[in-house]
């Protein structure tokens, strides 16, 4: 099992809307995440828009690729793209660069 | 169960040493964390020193207070304090401000 942590940055003027959208993620999107191996997946938001993602998965590259291949993900990411800063033209899911785990205690 | 995420900043010139220290955390420190309710606890480090902590616990305030009361934690935090930026005179564990969870999928 891999533990994955990534960072994104929500635009300051979209933070409240981002929060509201994530309180009500489409059931179809939740099911696709589960089906493609995204487990114990949380998003945490700092007041300035820094967003931390944490999840557990067998293989993050495989989980991303499988999610990428779903139709619901394309629709969701198209709506989410405008919420983020400096994604260099990448979709938010493509811009998720995992940090290095330096400590773990079960 | 609470899922907790916090951020700290490791000084740029101490990153390699921080990483090395966390590859070899004292067994006594690991046991104290487990005994005081810190579960599935990971630390993730970005190249610039931004540090993300993630853990699961019944009650974070209680887990922090219980850890604070241990002798080993005082020794560990005294050694770790010099690794972090801008802690405003607080020990690193006291400066852990949890972010807000905006999404969770089991």
The whole-angstrom separation of Cα A4 and Cα B92 is: 23
Residue B104, min C-alpha distance to chain A (Å): 4
User: Average of pLDDT values for B27-49?
Assistant: 97
Q: What is the residue extent of each domain of chain A?
A: 2-83
User: Average of pLDDT values for B95-106?
Assistant: 92
**Are the CB atoms for A103 and B28 separated by under 8 Å?**
no
Instruction: State the virtual CA torsion across A93, A15, B93, B20 in degrees, nearest 10.
Output: 20
- Lowest-confidence segment of A43-57, A92-106, B11-25 by average pLDDT: A92-106
Q: Inform me whether the pLDDT recorded for B87 exceeds 70.
A: no
Q: Inform me whether the pLDDT recorded for A91 exceeds 80.
A: no
Contacts of B85 (CB under 8 A, 6+ apart): B9, B10, B11, B49
Q: Could you give the residue numbers annotated as active site of B?
A: 22
CATH of the structural domain A2-83, one choice from 1.50.10.10, 3.30.70.100, 3.40.50.1820, 3.40.50.2030: 3.30.70.100
Chain B positions in Cβ-Cβ contact with residue A73 (cut-off 8 Å): none
Q: Inform me whether the pLDDT recorded for A98 exceeds 70.
A: yes
User: Average of pLDDT values for B11-32?
Assistant: 96
The whole-angstrom separation of Cα A19 and Cα A74 is: 20
- Output the pLDDT for position A87: 64
Interface test with B, best of A22, A54, A73 (most B CBs within 10 A): A54
Q: Give the residue on A whose Cα is nearest the Cα of B57.
A: A106
- Output the pLDDT for position B97: 82
**Are the CB atoms for A57 and A63 separated by under 8 Å?**
yes
Structure confidence by residue, pLDDT tens digits, A2-28: 999 999 999 999 999 999 999 999 999
User: Average of pLDDT values for A44-64?
Assistant: 95
Q: What is the ipTM of this complex?
A: 0.91
- Output the pLDDT for position A86: 73
Question: Is pTM beyond 0.90 here?
Answer: yes
Chain A positions in Cβ-Cβ contact with residue B104 (cut-off 8 Å): 41-43
Q: Give the residue on B whose Cα is nearest the Cα of A45.
A: B100
The whole-angstrom separation of Cα A92 and Cα A9 is: 10
- CA B2, distance to chain mean position in Å, is 15
Nearest to B101 among A44, A101, A104 (CB): A44
CA nearest neighbour of A11 among A48, A66, A65:
A48
Chain B positions in Cβ-Cβ contact with residue A3 (cut-off 8 Å): 42, 54
The whole-angstrom separation of Cα B93 and Cα B106 is: 27
């Amino acid at each position: 099992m891999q533990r994955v942590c990534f960072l994104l940055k929500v635009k300051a003027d979209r933070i409240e809307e981002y929060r509201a959208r994530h309180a009500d993620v489409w059931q179809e999107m939740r099911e696709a995440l589960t089906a493609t191996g995204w487990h114990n997946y949380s998003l945490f938001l700092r007041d300035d828009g820094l967003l931390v993602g944490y999840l557990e998965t067998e293989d993050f590259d495989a989980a991303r690729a499988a999610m990428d291949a779903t139709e619901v993900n394309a629709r969701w990411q198209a709506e989410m793209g405008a919420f983020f800063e400096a994604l260099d033209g990448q979709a938010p899911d493509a811009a998720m660069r995992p940090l290095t785990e330096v400590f773990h205690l079960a």
